[in-house]
Amino acid sequence: MEGMPVSMGGLRTLPWYVAGSQVLGVASVVITGVWMGHYRGGYAWDGSTQEFNVHPLCMVLGLVFLYGDAVLVYRVFRNESKRSVKILHALLHMMALIISIVGLVAVFDFHSAAKIPHMYSLHSWCGMLTFVLFFIQWLLGLGFFLFPWASAQLRSWYLPLHVFFGLLLLVMAVGSCLLGITEKLLFNIMETYSRFTGEGVLANILGLLLVSFGVVVGYVVTRDDFRRPPNPEEEALSVHFKTLSEGEIPSSP
């Protein structure tokens, strides 16, 4: 996506977008917690539906909120060293990974205890695809960018793919959450959903908040004038060397 010249919009709006994303992200986590805690009977770890309730909370917290914040760090910490920001990016993604694994174990446990077949729904297909691709992307990210294993050529080849798949996986995570919301509502309140009951409206609002979080994060990371400024000294030392095409600015994830 091409951006406006800095003079027309510029960096002064960035903090507002970042603050907005955090309000939307925290609201999504809180509403998921309230939905499962208040309307669906709370949390447990015993194979019951209370164990299932851990699943939505972990996925929204891990694969949406923390994942989105991991994506944002390159825009938020514009003037820190690239290496520190990379480590923070990897750590946030590791937290997202661990929390989403807990969320996955919760739903598989619940299905096994309740003798419900695994992996039959579109939600499960999309969600598992998102998780597996996220895990692969995280491993590749470590290997290519954090450790000095890959050649500069390989890194510069992978970087635009890492950026594209990074944003794609956030979109797929949000989409999988929306499918999960729809499934959960139709399994539990199919009879009353069409009467605009509190639970149904709350869950729909949660869906819109998740979409809004994804939109704001996507806008911040694709807008040209929010991009991290290239630091010539760092660029010379690190992998982010200039590409061969004339006048091109080195890529920053």
Nearest residue to 28 (alpha-carbon basis) of 182, 206, 179, 147: 206
Give the interface segment with a second copy, choosing from 50-58, 74-82, 118-126, 137-145 (CB under 8 A). 118-126
Amino acid at 207: G
For residue 226, give the DSSP letter.
Answer: G
Give the interface segment with a second copy, choosing from 14-22, 30-38, 100-108, 184-192 (CB under 8 A). 184-192
Cβ atoms 11, 224 nearer than 8 A: no
* Residue 12 touches a second copy, criterion: CB under 8 A: no
Within 8 A by CB and 6+ apart from 34, the residues are: 202
Select from 61, 185, 216, 217 the one that contacts a second copy (CB under 8 A): 185
* Residue 108 touches a second copy, criterion: CB under 8 A: no
Here the tokens at position 38 are: 């208040």
* Residue 20 touches a second copy, criterion: CB under 8 A: no
Here the tokens at position 90 are: 């990897």
Give the interface segment with a second copy, choosing from 11-19, 53-61, 86-94, 212-220 (CB under 8 A). 212-220
Give the interface segment with a second copy, choosing from 34-42, 75-83, 92-100, 167-175 (CB under 8 A). 167-175
Select from 34, 146, 224, 237 the one that contacts a second copy (CB under 8 A): 224
Q: How open is the CA angle 203-166-6, to the nearest 5 degrees?
A: 100
What count of residues does the chain have? 253
Write the binding mask 123 to 162 for a second copy: x where contact by CB under 8 A, - elsewhere. Answer: x-xx--x--------------------------xx-xx--
Place of tokens 């290496």: 83
Give me the phi and psi of 164, to 5 degrees please: -60, -50
Question: How close are the terminal C-alpha atoms of the chain, in Å?
Answer: 14
Cβ atoms 71, 169 nearer than 8 A: no
Give the interface segment with a second copy, choosing from 48-56, 59-67, 134-142, 187-195 (CB under 8 A). 187-195
Nearer to a second copy, 17 or 43 (CB): 17
3-state helix, strand, coil in the chain (%, to 5): 75, 0, 25
CB of 250 to a second copy, least distance (A): 8
Residues that bind a second copy (CB under 8 A): 1-8, 116-117, 120-123, 125-126, 129, 156-157, 159-160, 163-164, 167-168, 171-172, 174-175, 178-179, 181-183, 185-187, 190, 193-196, 200, 203-204, 207-208, 211, 215, 218-219, 222-225, 243-245, 247-249, 251-252
